[in-house]
Amino acid sequence: MAVATPARSSRSRAPEAAHAFRSADELHEVFARLFETLNRDDRVGPLLQAARLRMRIVCPDVRGVIQVWPGEDSGAYLEWRFDRRGGVKPQLELTMDSDVLNEWMQGRESVPMAIAHRRMKCSGEARVALLYLPAVKLIAGPYRRLIKSAYAHLVL
């Protein structure tokens, strides 16, 4: 049966990642501020803690690493560090350039599409991604507010 073939999706990426973080320092600064905000948020914080988020995000373009896990005895909803040492063994590791991370955090990148387009790699206990994806949605609002207030170059 002859059917009309649609035009290919035109969601192509810019040659230079215009909305990438400028450095690992900036990446870590933004996420430290974000996690601090979430730790003060009595609505989102407990939900993230309950999701048992144990994730490592690696951004090779800026050589940045984010490790985040639920607070246990510290009284905080989340704990984090910005290197590979210490912390809690992550269940899920996602590797992506910082512009992809920025898009994902703003709800503009779909994880499966990013994986399919080789913009993101997923390793670890893949099944927990199913638990973490909805949890990460909770971060989008605070993240957007944060970058809008202080990191305009990251706003999409």
Partner 1 sequence: MSDEVISLNEAARRAGVSPATLKRWAKQKVIPVRDDRWTAAAAAQARVVSRMRERGHSLGSLRRAVRDGRLAFGFVEELFPSTRRTISVEDAARRTGLEPELIERLMALLGTPTAREGILTEQDAAALDGIARALAAGFPLVALLQMVRVYAQNLRKVAEAEVRLFHLYVHEPLIREGVDAIEMSEEMEGLAGDLLPLTTPLMEYIHTRYLRFYIEQDVVGHMETEFAGDPQIGRISMAFCFVDLTGFTRYTEEEGDEEALDLVERFVEAVEDTLPSEATIVKTIGDEVMIVSRDPVTLTEWAVGFLGLFGERPQPRVGVHYGQAVYRDGDYFGGDVNLAHRVVARALGGEVLITREVVDAIGDSEYLRFEPIGEVDLKGFPDPTELFIVRPSTH
Cβ distance 102 to 19 under 8 Å? yes
Q: Considering only the stretches 17-25, 40-48, 72-80, 130-138, report the one whose residues sit in contact with partner 1 under the rule CB under 8 A.
A: 130-138
Nearer to partner 1, 85 or 89 (CB): 89
As a whole number of angstroms, the distance between CA 90 and CA 54 comes to 5
Could you tell me the CA-to-CA distances from 114 to 40, 71, 105 in Å, in that order? 31, 29, 13
C-alpha dihedral, 122 to 112 to 83 to 80, nearest 10°: -120
Q: Does residue 7 interact with partner 1 by CB under 8 A?
A: yes
Q: Does residue 146 interact with partner 1 by CB under 8 A?
A: no
Q: Does residue 126 interact with partner 1 by CB under 8 A?
A: yes
Nearer to partner 1, 7 or 14 (CB): 7
Return the residue of 53, 68, 96, 129 that touches partner 1, per CB under 8 A.
129
Q: At closest approach, how far in Å is the CB of 52 from partner 1?
A: 13
Site track 106-125 with partner 1 (rule: CB under 8 A), x = hit: ----xxxxxxxxx---x--x
Tell me, by CB under 8 A, how many residues bind partner 1: 29
Which residues are paired to 80 by β-bridges?
68
| Contact residues for partner 1, defined by CB under 8 A | 1-9, 11, 110-118, 122, 125-127, 129-131, 133-134, 137
